[in-house]
Amino acid sequence: MNGPELLSEHAGVFRTCVGACWPGSHAVFRGQDLHRDLAGIGWMDLFLLGITGRRFAANELRLLDGMWALTAYPDTRLWNNRVAALTASARSLPSLGLAAGIAASDARVFGGGPAFFSIDFFLRAGERQRAGDDVEAIVAAELAERRRILGYGRPMSSTDERLPPLLALAAREGLADGRHFRLALDVEQALLRRKPFLKLNYAGATAALAADLGLTARQYQLYNVFKTMAGMPPCFVEASEKPEGALMPTPCSNVIYEGHPRRNWSETRTARHS
Protein backbone atom coordinates (compact mmCIF):
# COMPACT_ATOMS: atom_id res chain seq x y z
CA MET A 1 0.00 0.00 0.00
CA ASN A 2 1.25 3.47 -0.85
CA GLY A 3 0.07 6.90 -1.92
CA PRO A 4 -3.06 8.40 -0.29
CA GLU A 5 -3.98 5.10 1.37
CA LEU A 6 -0.66 4.95 3.20
CA LEU A 7 -0.91 8.57 4.32
CA SER A 8 -4.50 8.08 5.45
CA GLU A 9 -3.46 5.23 7.72
CA HIS A 10 -1.02 7.53 9.52
CA ALA A 11 -3.15 10.69 9.56
CA GLY A 12 -4.32 11.97 12.93
CA VAL A 13 -2.21 9.56 14.99
CA PHE A 14 1.46 9.29 15.92
CA ARG A 15 2.66 5.81 16.77
CA THR A 16 5.98 5.41 18.54
CA CYS A 17 7.89 2.82 20.51
CA VAL A 18 10.91 4.98 21.40
CA GLY A 19 9.30 7.33 23.91
CA ALA A 20 7.19 10.38 24.64
CA CYS A 21 6.80 13.12 27.22
CA TRP A 22 3.85 14.29 29.28
CA PRO A 23 4.72 17.83 30.46
CA GLY A 24 4.12 18.22 34.16
CA SER A 25 4.04 14.45 34.66
CA HIS A 26 6.82 12.27 33.23
CA ALA A 27 8.81 11.23 30.18
CA VAL A 28 9.38 7.76 28.76
CA PHE A 29 12.66 6.87 27.02
CA ARG A 30 12.76 3.50 25.28
CA GLY A 31 10.08 2.11 27.57
CA GLN A 32 11.59 3.40 30.82
CA ASP A 33 10.75 6.42 32.95
CA LEU A 34 13.55 8.86 32.17
CA HIS A 35 13.58 10.51 35.60
CA ARG A 36 12.91 7.42 37.71
CA ASP A 37 14.15 4.26 35.99
CA LEU A 38 17.07 5.97 34.26
CA ALA A 39 17.99 8.39 37.06
CA GLY A 40 21.74 9.02 37.11
CA ILE A 41 22.38 7.48 33.70
CA GLY A 42 25.46 8.80 31.88
CA TRP A 43 25.16 10.69 28.62
CA MET A 44 26.93 8.07 26.49
CA ASP A 45 24.83 5.35 28.11
CA LEU A 46 21.62 7.23 27.29
CA PHE A 47 22.81 8.09 23.80
CA LEU A 48 23.49 4.45 22.94
CA LEU A 49 20.25 3.33 24.57
CA GLY A 50 18.38 5.75 22.31
CA ILE A 51 20.17 4.46 19.21
CA THR A 52 20.12 0.74 19.91
CA GLY A 53 17.42 0.20 22.52
CA ARG A 54 19.83 -1.65 24.80
CA ARG A 55 22.23 -0.93 27.62
CA PHE A 56 25.97 -1.42 27.29
CA ALA A 57 28.41 -2.69 29.91
CA ALA A 58 30.64 -0.20 31.71
CA ASN A 59 33.81 -1.30 29.86
CA GLU A 60 32.00 -1.03 26.52
CA LEU A 61 30.88 2.49 27.31
CA ARG A 62 34.43 3.46 28.28
CA LEU A 63 35.66 2.18 24.92
CA LEU A 64 32.93 4.02 23.00
CA ASP A 65 33.66 7.19 24.95
CA GLY A 66 37.38 6.85 24.26
CA MET A 67 36.76 6.35 20.56
CA TRP A 68 35.31 9.88 20.55
CA ALA A 69 37.97 11.44 22.76
CA LEU A 70 40.99 10.08 20.87
CA THR A 71 40.02 11.84 17.63
CA ALA A 72 38.86 15.18 19.07
CA TYR A 73 41.48 17.46 17.49
CA PRO A 74 41.05 21.23 18.14
CA ASP A 75 42.83 22.12 14.90
CA THR A 76 41.05 24.78 12.84
CA ARG A 77 42.87 23.64 9.71
CA LEU A 78 40.82 20.45 9.68
CA TRP A 79 37.91 20.77 7.26
CA ASN A 80 35.05 20.31 9.72
CA ASN A 81 36.62 22.43 12.46
CA ARG A 82 37.26 25.14 9.89
CA VAL A 83 33.57 25.25 9.01
CA ALA A 84 32.65 25.71 12.67
CA ALA A 85 35.34 28.36 13.17
CA LEU A 86 34.37 30.31 10.06
CA THR A 87 30.83 30.64 11.35
CA ALA A 88 32.28 32.15 14.52
CA SER A 89 34.42 34.48 12.45
CA ALA A 90 31.24 35.58 10.67
CA ARG A 91 29.63 36.10 14.10
CA SER A 92 27.00 33.43 13.59
CA LEU A 93 25.48 31.29 16.36
CA PRO A 94 27.37 28.45 18.06
CA SER A 95 24.51 26.06 17.29
CA LEU A 96 24.77 26.85 13.58
CA GLY A 97 28.55 26.57 13.62
CA LEU A 98 28.60 23.19 15.35
CA ALA A 99 25.73 21.89 13.23
CA ALA A 100 27.56 22.89 10.06
CA GLY A 101 30.80 21.36 11.32
CA ILE A 102 29.04 18.10 12.19
CA ALA A 103 27.37 18.01 8.78
CA ALA A 104 30.75 18.54 7.10
CA SER A 105 32.15 15.65 9.16
CA ASP A 106 29.78 13.24 7.47
CA ALA A 107 31.74 13.28 4.23
CA ARG A 108 32.06 10.29 1.92
CA VAL A 109 35.88 10.30 1.82
CA PHE A 110 36.68 11.67 5.28
CA GLY A 111 34.92 11.27 8.61
CA GLY A 112 31.56 9.55 8.74
CA GLY A 113 31.57 8.14 5.22
CA PRO A 114 34.55 5.78 5.56
CA ALA A 115 33.36 4.71 9.02
CA PHE A 116 29.93 3.71 7.70
CA PHE A 117 31.30 1.82 4.69
CA SER A 118 33.99 0.22 6.85
CA ILE A 119 31.61 -1.31 9.39
CA ASP A 120 29.33 -2.38 6.54
CA PHE A 121 32.30 -4.27 5.07
CA PHE A 122 33.27 -5.89 8.38
CA LEU A 123 29.72 -7.06 9.03
CA ARG A 124 29.48 -8.59 5.56
CA ALA A 125 33.01 -10.01 5.74
CA GLY A 126 32.26 -11.52 9.14
CA GLU A 127 29.26 -13.33 7.66
CA ARG A 128 31.38 -14.66 4.80
CA GLN A 129 34.08 -15.78 7.20
CA ARG A 130 31.55 -17.65 9.31
CA ALA A 131 30.30 -19.30 6.10
CA GLY A 132 33.80 -20.65 5.47
CA ASP A 133 35.51 -18.08 3.20
CA ASP A 134 39.10 -17.22 4.02
CA VAL A 135 40.32 -13.63 4.37
CA GLU A 136 42.20 -13.61 1.06
CA ALA A 137 39.07 -14.61 -0.85
CA ILE A 138 36.98 -12.02 1.01
CA VAL A 139 39.45 -9.23 0.22
CA ALA A 140 39.81 -10.25 -3.42
CA ALA A 141 36.05 -10.34 -3.94
CA GLU A 142 35.55 -6.95 -2.24
CA LEU A 143 38.26 -5.29 -4.33
CA ALA A 144 36.88 -6.82 -7.52
CA GLU A 145 33.39 -5.53 -6.80
CA ARG A 146 34.09 -2.16 -5.10
CA ARG A 147 37.74 -1.43 -5.99
CA ARG A 148 38.71 -0.48 -2.43
CA ILE A 149 38.08 -1.23 1.22
CA LEU A 150 37.53 1.88 3.31
CA GLY A 151 39.19 1.86 6.72
CA TYR A 152 42.66 1.26 5.32
CA GLY A 153 45.24 3.79 4.19
CA ARG A 154 45.50 7.44 5.18
CA PRO A 155 46.14 10.28 2.71
CA MET A 156 47.94 12.54 5.19
CA SER A 157 50.26 9.97 6.76
CA SER A 158 50.75 6.23 6.49
CA THR A 159 50.96 6.12 10.29
CA ASP A 160 47.82 6.76 12.34
CA GLU A 161 48.85 8.18 15.71
CA ARG A 162 45.44 7.37 17.19
CA LEU A 163 45.78 3.61 16.86
CA PRO A 164 48.27 2.85 19.67
CA PRO A 165 46.17 4.56 22.38
CA LEU A 166 42.99 3.05 20.90
CA LEU A 167 44.43 -0.47 20.96
CA ALA A 168 45.72 0.08 24.48
CA LEU A 169 42.25 1.22 25.58
CA ALA A 170 40.53 -1.76 23.91
CA ALA A 171 43.00 -4.16 25.53
CA ARG A 172 42.61 -2.52 28.93
CA GLU A 173 38.84 -2.92 28.71
CA GLY A 174 39.11 -6.53 27.52
CA LEU A 175 37.63 -5.74 24.10
CA ALA A 176 40.59 -6.16 21.76
CA ASP A 177 40.01 -9.81 20.79
CA GLY A 178 36.63 -9.73 19.05
CA ARG A 179 35.96 -11.55 15.78
CA HIS A 180 35.61 -8.41 13.67
CA PHE A 181 38.69 -6.71 15.10
CA ARG A 182 40.81 -9.80 14.50
CA LEU A 183 39.34 -9.89 11.00
CA ALA A 184 40.35 -6.24 10.52
CA LEU A 185 43.97 -7.10 11.33
CA ASP A 186 43.93 -10.07 8.95
CA VAL A 187 42.46 -7.90 6.18
CA GLU A 188 45.26 -5.39 6.80
CA GLN A 189 47.87 -8.07 6.11
CA ALA A 190 46.08 -9.12 2.92
CA LEU A 191 45.99 -5.50 1.71
CA LEU A 192 49.61 -4.82 2.65
CA ARG A 193 50.66 -7.68 0.38
CA ARG A 194 49.07 -5.69 -2.44
CA LYS A 195 50.02 -2.13 -1.50
CA PRO A 196 52.35 -1.34 1.43
CA PHE A 197 50.54 1.86 2.42
CA LEU A 198 47.13 0.25 3.07
CA LYS A 199 47.48 0.05 6.82
CA LEU A 200 44.49 -0.15 9.13
CA ASN A 201 43.41 3.38 10.05
CA TYR A 202 41.28 4.83 12.85
CA ALA A 203 38.04 4.59 10.89
CA GLY A 204 38.62 0.90 10.22
CA ALA A 205 39.73 0.04 13.75
CA THR A 206 36.82 1.81 15.44
CA ALA A 207 34.35 0.31 12.97
CA ALA A 208 35.60 -3.20 13.69
CA LEU A 209 35.43 -2.63 17.44
CA ALA A 210 31.89 -1.27 17.07
CA ALA A 211 30.89 -4.34 15.05
CA ASP A 212 32.15 -6.52 17.91
CA LEU A 213 29.90 -4.53 20.27
CA GLY A 214 26.92 -5.50 18.13
CA LEU A 215 26.22 -2.19 16.40
CA THR A 216 24.65 -2.25 12.96
CA ALA A 217 25.98 0.02 10.22
CA ARG A 218 23.13 2.50 10.72
CA GLN A 219 23.51 2.48 14.50
CA TYR A 220 27.24 3.08 14.17
CA GLN A 221 26.59 5.93 11.74
CA LEU A 222 24.41 7.61 14.39
CA TYR A 223 27.01 7.04 17.11
CA ASN A 224 29.64 8.55 14.82
CA VAL A 225 27.78 11.87 14.45
CA PHE A 226 29.67 13.38 17.41
CA LYS A 227 32.96 11.52 16.93
CA THR A 228 34.93 14.67 16.08
CA MET A 229 32.68 17.31 17.63
CA ALA A 230 34.71 17.87 20.81
CA GLY A 231 37.42 19.54 18.73
CA MET A 232 35.02 22.12 17.30
CA PRO A 233 34.08 24.30 20.32
CA PRO A 234 37.73 25.31 21.04
CA CYS A 235 38.09 26.36 17.39
CA PHE A 236 34.79 28.26 17.53
CA VAL A 237 35.77 30.06 20.76
CA GLU A 238 39.20 31.03 19.45
CA ALA A 239 37.77 32.34 16.16
CA SER A 240 35.14 34.38 18.01
CA GLU A 241 37.89 36.06 20.05
CA LYS A 242 39.65 37.28 16.89
CA PRO A 243 38.47 40.26 14.83
CA GLU A 244 35.44 39.53 12.71
CA GLY A 245 36.42 38.00 9.37
CA ALA A 246 40.07 37.63 10.37
CA LEU A 247 40.14 33.82 10.33
CA MET A 248 42.24 32.51 7.45
CA PRO A 249 41.70 35.47 5.08
CA THR A 250 42.85 34.81 1.52
CA PRO A 251 44.33 37.73 -0.47
CA CYS A 252 43.17 37.97 -4.07
CA SER A 253 46.81 37.63 -5.13
CA ASN A 254 46.79 34.10 -3.71
CA VAL A 255 43.83 33.00 -5.85
CA ILE A 256 44.85 31.12 -8.99
CA TYR A 257 42.40 32.21 -11.67
CA GLU A 258 42.32 30.54 -15.09
CA GLY A 259 39.07 31.94 -16.47
CA HIS A 260 38.45 34.89 -18.82
CA PRO A 261 41.10 37.62 -18.79
CA ARG A 262 40.43 41.00 -17.22
CA ARG A 263 37.69 42.89 -19.11
CA ASN A 264 36.56 46.50 -19.15
CA TRP A 265 33.26 46.61 -17.28
CA SER A 266 31.79 49.54 -19.25
CA GLU A 267 32.61 47.90 -22.61
CA THR A 268 31.11 44.62 -21.42
CA ARG A 269 27.85 46.36 -20.43
CA THR A 270 27.67 48.23 -23.77
CA ALA A 271 28.21 45.03 -25.74
CA ARG A 272 25.58 43.21 -23.71
CA HIS A 273 22.93 45.91 -24.38
CA SER A 274 23.69 46.33 -28.10
pLDDT tens digit at each of 274 positions of the chain: 678 888 888 888 888 999 999 999 999 999 999 999 999 999 999 999 999 999 999 999 999 999 999 999 999 999 999 999 999 999 999 999 999 999 999 887 777 888 899 999 999 999 999 999 999 999 999 999 999 999 999 877 778 999 999 999 999 999 999 999 999 999 999 999 999 899 999 999 999 999 999 999 999 999 999 999 999 999 999 999 999 999 998 888 898 989 888 888 776 555 565 5
How far does CA 108 lie from the centroid of its chain?
Answer: 10
pTM higher than 0.85 for the full model? Answer: yes
User: Is 112-226 assigned to CATH 1.10.3720.10?
Assistant: no
Alpha carbons within 13 A on the beta-carbon side of 61:
14
* Enclosing H/E stretch for 29: strand 26-29
What is the distance between the alpha carbons of residues 58 and 64, in angstroms, rounded to a whole number? 10
- Which ranges of the chain does DSSP label H, i.e. alpha helix? 4-10, 43-52, 58-69, 79-89, 94-105, 112-130, 135-146, 163-172, 179-192, 202-212, 217-223, 232-240, 265-273
CB 50 within 8 A of CB 38: no
Nearest Cα neighbor of 122 from 180, 76, 163 is 180
